[in-house]
Structure formats: C-alpha cells, structure tokens
Structure 1
C-alpha cells in the first residue's frame, strides 16, 4: 500500500500544481468561474468519506478501492475532452468524490493491516505521501517552463494514468482482515456477528459455546453523539491545514514586509519537516490514551503558530521573515502531532464491527474544513488582522482541550469497547461439514 500511495500522490502532485491554471489556460474559464467550479466540486467530495466507509464495512475493501481508482482515472481522462463550466463541473465533482473516498479507504486498509502499530504505519505513510507530492510538484514545475496547453494536458494525462496504475496495484493486494469478515474453512465466509450467534466448532470437532452477547453498542456513527462530537471538534482543528496552505501565504503577501518568495517556501519547509520528523512524532498517537493526552501539546502548538503569524506584521523585514518561518515550522509541527492523534482516535474510538462507517463519518471533518476553511480565513481571520490570528489560535487550542476531555471521558467509561487490539489476526470459523 505504500507503493500505491507513492504512485497516487506523485500523480496528484502533477495535477494539484496546475489545477486552477488548467481551467483558466486550457478550459478557458475566468478566475471567478474557476473558483466556483473548484468550490462546488469540493462540496461533492464531502459525501465520499461516509459512503466509502459504509461500503468498506459491507464489501471487500480492496474491491471498493479498485472501483474508486477506476472512477478517478475516468474523471481525469474525460476532463481532457470537456469544455465549458457545465461539462467540467460533474467531472470535477466526481474526481473530488473519488479523492476523498480513496483517502478513507487507504486509511482503513492501513488500520486493518497494521493493528496496534497503526500509528507508526500512518507516519511512514504520510512521509511517502509527502514524497509523492514533492516528486509530482517538481515534475510539474519543470514541465510548466514550456507553458503550452499541450504541457497542461500531458500533466493531467499523467495524473489520470497514475490512477490506472494504482488500480492495477490494488487488484494485486490481498484483502486485509476485518472484524466484519471472517475466513471459513470448508464453509462459505460468514460475518463475525453470525458466528457469534450460532457458536463455533473447534478444530477438534467439538462445539464451542456461543459467545456471550456483547454490551449494547450504537447502531451507527450517526447515533453515537460522543463520536460525532469528537469528529466535529476535529473539523475545527483541521483548520490548521487551510491556515498553512491559504492563510499564511496570503498573509505574507498582503500584510507583511517579508519577501513574497516565502509564500512558496512555506510548502518546502512543510514537506521537508514532515519527511524528516513524521515517523519520530508518531509516538504521540501510540495508543488512545497517549493520543488523548497529546492534545495538550497540540493546543500549545496551535497558540504558538497563530501567535507567530500575528507577529509577522512587524515592519522590520528580517523580523517579519523570522516570524513567518517560525509560523511555518509551528504549523507543520502541529500538523504532524495532530494527524497522529486524529488517526489513532478516529480508528480506536470506533466499534470494530462498524469501523468503516465510523472512519467514513470522521472523514467528513477534514472535507468540511477544506470547504469552509478558505472562506473563514480570508473573510474573518485575515480581515481582522493580528487579532484574528490570535483569536483563531485560542479557538483551535480550546477545541483541542475540549476534545481531550471528551475522549478521556469516553475511554474511562465502563464497556467503552475501544479498539485497542490489533486487527491483523482474522477469526476463523470451522464448519461442521
């Protein structure tokens, strides 16, 4: 799956670097129409996470992921022949839907394969993802030196073909173990719930007693108010992503005396630090309780990152530059810690038999933040000046501390059913035949 991520994100790096430019230069849209196109497409992508998660609980995960990659490839290839806003919109929406679906499915695959070592696996995966984006971005930058429409089309074609290659790689992957799918010897595959009700037969041929009925669990994530509250607070904290990619670059250009080139350097700083440090910082998500307590560090880094951004309005050029670099580093550190924490808690707080549905609902948090974040940062935070950034830091830190309290309360609740155990061992049901 790491190779799949590398290929996927390298292709995505080709496209993300030129997305807006493609619609203006090749498709002939104006900037306002391009913004509307990408915004509406992003809204469609919100549905991808919960739908994909629910399907992963009912169908083989690898087959769902294969279908999603085929959809992404098809939407990209069809974009090459689409013209006008209304032809482009459904294809952009389809691509966004596929991108968010693939993100959730890849996360589920990693959680099921890695088990209790999922925090380290996620860190390695994020490192690979950043390498892929870097390779794709560098290739796109070199190609854009030509500046022709043919180059733009070739980059989009490269992105689409990367999904074809990913689909072929996924087709070769074995299905990871799941709490809702068991392997049967001499009998059709049954669900864990069916085996528990009917009882099992040991390898010696003797009947084992039926499993004791588990304590009542939520019928689904939409009825689990505790998990919904956790996900809602995560959607607030995910604003750090837009702060780094949208807010800080715009702040550099419009409100500070720092060199405008730092707006591009922010991404370099972010990528290099993630590649160097993400695996080391995975320890902040080693277990549900460790992850919950790490939210205190997340709160501190939120305050530091936003405060450094606010200070960047200093008139002295070197001081503004130092503040901008400090803000970029702080936002990257909080990204690495919070991503490890969010990964662990989103999986471990979910009942094992509904893990896909729960993680899918959690995926809404990041999707919603992506849609709301740019508008919030430009119209509220940046418009309010330094006070806006200080206020944002206080809100993000408050969300982190409140989430810590909610999660610890859930972990301390009797019969919480937190998924501490690895999912790498498949339960085996022997038939009576």
Structure 2
C-alpha cells in the first residue's frame, strides 16, 4: 500500500477513535467548518477593505487594529461566562454573532459602521476559540491532549481549504468574488452553530461544585485568575513562547525578502511546508504533553528548537548562494514548526492543569490573552527590534526565549509541587488539576 494511503488511513482511524466519542467528533466537525470559513476571509479582509470598500491603507490598519483590540476581551469574557452557563448554548450564540457581523460587513461600506462590525467579528472569533477549547477539555477528559492534537490537524486542513478558495477568488479580483467569500464566511458560522445544537453539554466542574455538596449556608468561593499571580506569570511567559506564529508569518517572509539571497517565493513554500509538517506530526508529538510533568519537561525541547531556529535565521543572511540560504531558512522553518507542535501540546495541558477545576473557563479565558497579546505585539517586536538588528537580533531573540522557557518550566514545576506534596502526605489530589485553594493562596 502506498505511504500516502497508509497516512490517510491512520488519520481516519485517529478521528474515529478521538476522545469524547460522538460529541468529540461533532465538535471536530464544528471546528473544521468554522476554520474553513475563517480561511475564506482572513487572507482577503485587508484587500476587501481597500479594493471593494475603497479605504486607504491607514484606515484599514486603524480598523483592523481597533477591531483586534476589542477582540482581546473575547477570551476572558467568554471563559468567565462559560463557568456559569451551558458552553454549547453560549457557543451557538457566539457563532450566530459572527455570522451576523459578516453579513453586516457585506452590506455596508461606511468606516464607522464597519468598525463595530469588525470588532464584533474579532470578539466572536476569540470567544469561539476559548469555548471550543473548553468544550474539548470537558468532553475528552484525561485524553484532552490527544484530542487537541487531532483538533489542530483538522483546523489546519480547514484553514488550508479556505485559503485555497480565497486564493482563487483573489485571482479573479472582482467585487462579486470578494462578496462570495464573505457569504461563505457567514454561512460557515451558521452551519457551525447548527452543528453545535447536536453536541451534548459536557459536565462542568464549576457548576457541579455550585450545585453539589455544599450547604446553603456555605457560599461557593470561586477562584479568580486575576488574583492568581502564579497563573498570570505563566500567561505572561506564554505570550512570548507563542512568538513562533509571528516568526513564521511575519518575520520569516520579511527576512527572506530583505536580508537573504533566497528567492522571494520561498516564503510561500515554507508556509506550505509548515502546514504539511503540522498535519503529519502534530498527533505523534502530542504525547509530549500527556501529563503536566511531561509537558513541563518538554519545555526543554521548545527552548532548543527556538534556539536552533533563530541561529539558522541569523546564519541565512551570510551566504551569497541562494541554495545555501534556502537550506538554512528551510531548517529554521522546520525548527519553528517543531516549536509550534510541541508548544501546542505543552500549552494545552498546562493551561488546564494549572487551573482549579471549579474555574476552568475563567482561567482558560485569561490564558487566551497570551495569544491575543502575541498577535498584537509579536509583529512589532520582530519588525522594530529583531529584523532591524540583523543576525544579532535573531541570536538575542533565541537566547531570550531559552530563558523564558526555563523560567516557565521553573514556575510550572514549583506550582505542581504543591499538590504532589499533599499527595505524598495522604491527601487526595485530582489528577491533572491544581486545587482551587492553591490558586486562591497565590492571590493577595
């Protein structure tokens, strides 16, 4: 049997055996439809505003920046609400909001109307992201890391399909082609909302605690991630360890064009390579985050891959030969893709393992701020500091990220030691979760 057929069969088996059973598979389908629609619009949005609406570049930049700033609130707000209401009902509402925002963008050309609509779309995108992760955590249970690895593969395939359709529409370049992308984007969210109605509501630890064994006179003491200094420090380091995204999408293409002898078309080829590697290897590498302790240990690999990737980027500026520069840049892309896959497993496990079970939604929502911060600050760090400094900038970035990974590992191990010590003394500790008391003790 051909290798490609074998890989396809293995992928089908992985999806069929995905943790969470039928509801887990249905949520994978929701994510596939969602990300296919997002792929239609993300790459075409800026061109739509300039080519169809007629905005100048500065207004487009302002629109996207303000919309992104509002979107940052989506993760913590949705996570907080999800600890109190049904995740599925909330996700249906969020997907409906996104569909309405897409239709609104289609129907107006006014900057002042597009601004709130784009902001709602951004808010909904970040909210949907944290809600689907929370649903996965609850439905997959101890196998959540394997579930998230399959989910990441599905998301990459969805984005790729949406991106291919968007590329075809952009090649046509007509207003009708852009409008078709927006209609497809809106329809994807409607379909996603309908699919969510077929997903059962998984048990919520926070709602079980609230309705469980406490007496009416004993109030439920909810943990707040905003008072948990240890978790906030962890989220701060996460924002920096997520820089692989900005490096692959912003830093690498700009470095190729401005500082190396490699052909400019290499940037697109390396992004395709990144997607192929993620689809092929993210599931096997998910084992590196199977437990909180394994995830903490895997931060060493994240640090080593960051350092190797940044060193290759620095070296790629030296050769006059396009072939030598291409080889070094390909090595850098592979290293940063390793960071992406390993850190995805590590981050997914630790973001939940370090949160009290009674406030998973709120904590996961705050964790989502790390990605929002990276999306806002990452391109600025690369363009205004790293690339400007040349090869020395990449070496400094690699060394700095090694220190950040080491700091996060020390922080995580220290936080995990509390429940471990209690377990040795005979007090039971829920597997994979820091107790609520630990989080509260971290506050003022």
- The reply to whether TM is greater than 0.5 is yes
Q: Whole-Å Cα distance in 2 between the matches of residues 133 and 194 of structure 1?
A: 40
Q: Which position in structure 2 is the counterpart of 1:117?
A: 143
Residue 372 of structure 1 is aligned with which of 369, 373, 377?
377
Q: In structure 2, how many angstroms separate the alpha carbons of the residues matched to 1:26 and 1:15?
A: 14
CA distance in 2, matches of 1:159, 1:307: 39
Q: Is the 8 A contact 1:113 1:176 kept in 2?
A: yes
TM-superposed CA distance for 1:25, in Å, is 0.5
Task: String of CA shifts for 1:335-378, please: whole Å, max 9, x gaps.
Answer: 00001100000011100000000000100011111011111111
Instruction: Evaluate the alpha carbon distance shift between residue 16 and residue 292 of structure 1 in structure 2; reply closer, same or farther with a 3 A threshold.
Output: same
Q: What is the total number of aligned residue pairs between the two structures?
A: 400
2:276 aligned partner = 272
How is 1:181-192 mapped onto 2 (pairs within 5 angstroms)?
181=207, 191-192=208-209
Task: Check whether the contact 1:349–1:419 (CA below 8 A) recurs between aligned residues.
Answer: no
Residue 15 of structure 1 pairs with residue 19 of structure 2: no
State the SS of the aligned residue for 2:199: coil
Q: Secondary structure at the match of 1:22?
A: helix
Structure with greater proportional helix content: 2
Q: Secondary structure at the match of 1:175?
A: coil
Mapped contact 1:257–1:313 kept (Cα < 8 A): yes
Q: 1:55 aligns with which of 81, 84, 97?
A: 81
Determine if the alignment matches structure 1 residue 77 to structure 2 residue 94: no
Q: Distance in 2 between matches of 1:281 and 1:104?
A: 22
Between the aligned partners of 2:429 and 2:230, the Cα distance in structure 1 is: 13
Judge conservation of contact 2:223–2:358 (CA < 8 Å) in 1.
no
Following superposition, the deviation at residue 332 of structure 1 comes to: 0.6
CA distance in 1, matches of 2:392, 2:53: 40
Residues 218, 228 of structure 1: CA spacing in aligned structure 2 closer, same or farther, 3 A cutoff?
A: farther
Q: Is the 8 A contact 2:222 2:359 kept in 1?
A: no
2:331 pairs with 1:320: no
Q: Which of 210, 213, 216 pairs up with 1:196?
A: 213
1:134 aligns with 2:183: no
The corresponding residue for 2:130 is 104
* 1:174-223 deviation line (CA, Å, top 9, x unaligned): 10111123xxxxxxxxx424422249xxxxxxxxxxxxx9xx98731111
Contact 1:287 1:420 (C-alpha < 8 Å) held by counterparts: no
Q: CA deviation at 1:130?
A: 0.1
Q: Is 1:341 the equivalent of 2:346?
A: yes
Query: Which of 186, 190, 214 is the matching residue for 1:160?
Result: 186
Are the equivalent residues in 2 in contact too, given 1:108–1:359 (CA < 8 A)?
Answer: yes
- Partner Cα distance (2:28, 2:62) in 1: 34
Match of 1:304 among 304, 308, 329: 308
Q: Distance in 2 between matches of 1:93 and 1:227?
A: 28
Q: Matched residues in 2 for 1:85 and 1:31: separation?
A: 13
Match of 1:395 among 388, 393, 400: 400
Gaps of 5+ in 1: 182-190, 200-212, 423-433
Q: Please list, as runs of the form range in 1=range in 2, the aligned pairs for 1:163-178 lying within 5 A after superposition.
A: 163-178=189-204
**Counterparts of 1:421-432 in structure 2 under 5 Å?**
none
In the alignment, is the contact (CA less than 8 A) between 1:351 and 1:419 conserved in 2? no
Partner residue of 1:240? Answer: 244
Q: Retained in 2: the 8 A contact 1:45–1:96?
A: yes
Distance 1:382 1:217, change over 3 A: farther
Q: 1:357 is matched with which residue?
A: 362
Unmatched 5+ residue regions in structure 2?
1-26, 434-444
What are the superposed Cα offsets for residues 23-46 of structure 1, whole Å, 9 maximum, x if unpaired? Answer: 110111112221221111111111
Structure 1 residues 284, 94: closer, same or farther in 2, change over 3 A?
same
Q: Are the equivalent residues in 2 in contact too, given 1:49–1:100 (CA < 8 A)?
A: yes
> RMSD across aligned C-alpha pairs, in angstroms?
2.0
Is the Cα contact below 8 Å between 1:218 and 1:224 reproduced in 2? no
TM-score of the pair, normalised by structure 2: 0.87
SS of 1:106's equivalent? helix
Measure, in 2, the Cα distance between the counterparts of 1:292 and 1:349.
11
Mark the CA change 1:106 to 1:418 in structure 2 (over 3 Å): closer, same or farther: farther
- How far apart, CA to CA, are the structure 1 residues paired with 2:279 and 2:178? 28
Q: Secondary structure, in 3 states, of the residue corresponding to 2:172?
A: coil
Q: Residues 311 and 419 (structure 1 numbering): CA distance in 2 closer, same or farther, change over 3 Å? A: farther
Please tell me whether the aligned partners of residues 223 and 356 of structure 2 are also in contact (alpha carbons under 8 angstroms): no
d(CA) in 2 for partners of 1:421 and 1:405? 18
Which one of the candidate residues 251, 259, 270 is aligned to 1:255? 259
